[in-house]
Structure 1
Amino acid sequence: MKAIKVFAPATVANVSCGYDVLGFAVNAPGDEVIMQLNDSGKVTLESITGDDGRLPRDPARNTVSAVVINYLQALGVEQGISIELHKKMPFGSGLGSSAASAVAGLIGINELMGAPLSREQLLPFAMEGERLACGNAHADNVAPALIGGLVLIRSYNPLDVVKLPVPASLACALVYPHVEIQTKEARQILKTHIPLHDAVTQWGNVAGLVAGFCMNDLGLISRSMQDVVIEPVRAMLIPYFYELKEIALHQQALGFGISGSGPSVFALCTGLQTAQRVVDAISARLSEAGIQSTTFVSEINQNGPLITSMQPALD
């Protein structure tokens, strides 16, 4: 029976001012899924590692297997599949953990079925995985995890997703402070109404950020990485957020913000060396405050998920 191993990357959602409409993929961390066809006629979740027993083992309730079930039902196919999920990124980190699992599962099953759907056609299935995980079918993690690069969700209804160009010199500094924030809770604290002048400021920044990427204008990207809507609310959940922001900008980061719902923070930088200086300085400050952290430095991942093995059977 055919088997496949897939890696799907972490993602940075929102990119400061683009709440629910912008996100990009990084090279690490990410999740790994191993899937194998069998004759059972059902989807089974054989094992999960790296979750400390926290994820549901019921295939209908776990993101990675639920999206596979939905995919097979949509295609009208009864096929036995065994799934192993290896979590290699933290929960509640703001790095798109559930999105990575869903995307890895979808890429795996689609390849095993002969790749009848494009990655864009897989996106609605991945979004439903997000609904299962956090109650909202947002696409700013799953779209870049699935397609790679920097992605704009221009519209949710109808779904319209655009992959944007990224300056080749751009690098991302990521710091995950070891405190946990649940995405569902981080959404619940957000305001449902905002002043018009804040909306106007935010629109200008989103438009400027997109223009900066398209024009390869690092200065415009830097000026546009300002969030007057979401960041002021969520910053209170992240220890020393504004101090960390000052540290990143002092180290010549182009801009600094919250990755997804946090607590991870990110900075866009010119080059990997600058990104390394940023994560070193931020992690040192957190360590002084008695807070452990994990850091990552990465270029923008333009390819998204990676099939690392596909063969008749895996040992």
Structure 2
Amino acid sequence: MTTPTRPPGTDRIRTAWDTLAPGFDRYTTPHTMRFGEQVLAGTAIGPGTRFLDVAAGSGALALPAARRGARVVAVDIAPAMVERLAARARAEGLEDVRALVMDGEHLDLDDDTFDVSASLNGVSLFPDLGRGIAEMARVTRPGGTVLVAAFGPPRKAEFIAWTVGALRAAVPGFAGLPADPPPLPFRLTDPKRLAAVLREAGLADVTVRQAVMDMAFASATELLDTIRSSHPLGAQWIAGLTEARTAEVRQILEGMFRERSGGAPGAVLHTTMNVATGTPQGTPLGRDDTAPGHTARARPRSP
């Protein structure tokens, strides 16, 4: 089994995430939403805050922000993700949530619109990472906050590391995660690199802290379902298994779970996350916003 490293085009990205949306919403979002609540608990987001969730999935940051009273716009390139986010908002009676299909590298939103723009394991997956963060900075008011949360090292993402270990034990020749270059979810594992990317997008007062996302799995089967639905790469890993190999991988994981939890079938796995924030400063005098690598703050966009 091999793992591709070249990012696919926009249409393929949209199709892949549309396909994963039902499983992602069922298995992945409950974990990431709990972490989203944890991340936002340390912010000043409250009633009236204008909040943007970029590459929102089915609402891991958008819905916790809305519960705190924020006026939320959530965008994602995959229509199926947007539909599920909107359905979650309706089910909770969260009326101030706008869920829109939109490419995060080309936000069709006005400059200086939001108090906080955030992305959880979203913008880090963009083919053009710098443009994605620059767009978040553009639509955030000067003095506001841009927040980007992304995976730390793969070995500290236990739900992935455990699955890779079980696959290597059960599947001869399983390649695992490529290291050079790493897959997109792990391109910002170095806090210094993450900070540099935010500064390159024109953000000031950049800070990066580490936080732990705890993921409680009831069984090894639930873990494999989560891996299958969390990312196209994980879907490829599981789809490539025969029924016998799947059973073997599950048996290995069950043993690891029992060891972690003292004999119980489930376990809590831990994932280190890098959480970065920065502050837009407005358009510096004399800057050429038409120069390559710059995104003009002053050009109009439709709401």
TM-score in same-fold range (> 0.5): no
Higher relative contact order (CA 8 A, sep 6+): 1
Q: Which has the higher helix share?
A: 2
Taking structure 2 as the reference length, the TM-score comes to 0.30
Q: Which has the higher strand share?
A: 1
Taking structure 1 as the reference length, the TM-score comes to 0.29
